[in-house]
Amino acid sequence: MEDKEDRKKNKKELSRAEEIERSLITTYKHRIWRKFTKAIIIYDLIKPNDHICVCISGGKDSMLMGLLFKHLHQYTDIPFKVSYLVMNPGYNDINFQIIKNNLKTLEIPATIVNTDIFDIANSTDKKPCYLCAKMRRGALYRIAKEMGCNKIALGHHYDDVIETTLMNMLNAGSFQTMLPKLHSDHYHNMEVIRPMYLIRERDVIDFKRYNKLTFIQCACRFTENCSICDNGSGGSQRANTKQLIARLVKEYSPVVEKNIFQAASNVNLDMILGYKSEGVEHSFLDDYDEKGKFLDDKIKDEGIEQASIEKAKREHKELEIDDTFNFLKEE
């Protein structure tokens, strides 16, 4: 067994990349690594012989995801392939260099594919953000398919999930969340997976600071010059939602975040006005009368009403009736 001096020596011999990767299973074992593997297990995100395209945009979340997959691929018993992709939509020189520097620092063997998406999206005045997002998704699917991948890993985390859920309620009047995985409706045998689904953003930020790493803050040409700090205060609707949730945690309840997250897997279809499934809209009125008849039959057959009356009589004193103010009562 090695003594303290040997351990110190071995620790000193670690490269910068190895030290950062090692922190995943030491300092951040419980807050990041175990939550990463837990999401993979409970949502069945990786299966034998999968070929996963790990998409790295250059921000803190996707870079961390790349490092997590790098470590997982080295030590897991699940046989799967992984390819790391940086799809460059047209980053400015400074941002692009930061991304390259981080790939080198973390020793992530990524393939960089250059596109002209920013140029195309920014040439229109009609919903450039929507066009950019749509084109980036399309490019990711096409490139991943050409690489022989059957899954695309994105770096969305726990906070993204609850923010998306709340944003849909407040802005779209719809209750829908960000799923941990979903099938592509345009590409055969292709899925999107989100293995950072259970990881908190504050832990990603702490990991970044602990390891003295710097990532790009915003890649979009419309906002790349604005000051966006770690807490997301950049003026966007998502940033506003993030701040709203923080206020609710402080002023309303400390378990607000947990409850928003759990609400998406605790939907009571008996107590909502309607829902949509596979493009078909359903209303609580669809089977309202049928359910009512079923309940009435059950109440009658099982004697539930009489039992309820007798129970109420036992629990409460005799009802007192006062007709003094019933001026409509017949004389």
Residue indicated by tokens 């996963």: 52
Per-residue confidence (pLDDT) for residue 319, from 0 to 100: 83
Cα distances (angstroms) measured from residue 276 to each of 4, 147, 166, 282, 283: 61, 35, 18, 6, 9
Q: What is the pLDDT of residues 197-228, one digit of tens each?
A: 999 999 999 999 999 999 997 666 555 544 33
| Closest to 181 (Cα-Cα) out of 71, 52, 270 | 52
- Residue ranges for the chain with pLDDT beneath 50: 1-2, 5, 9, 225-234
Residues forming beta bridges with residue 181, ordered by sequence position: 193
Per-residue confidence (pLDDT) for residue 4, from 0 to 100: 52
DSSP assignment string, 56-125: --SSHHHHHHHHHHHHHHHH-SS--EEEEEEEES---HHHHHHHHHHHHHHT--EEEEE--HHHHHTT-S
Residue partners of 183: CB distance under 8 A and separation at least 6: 190, 191
* Neighbouring C-beta atoms of residue 165, cutoff 10 Å: 20
Domains and CATH numbers, the chain: 14-252 (3.40.50.620)
Per-residue confidence (pLDDT) for residue 195, from 0 to 100: 98
* Neighbouring C-beta atoms of residue 219, cutoff 10 Å: 21
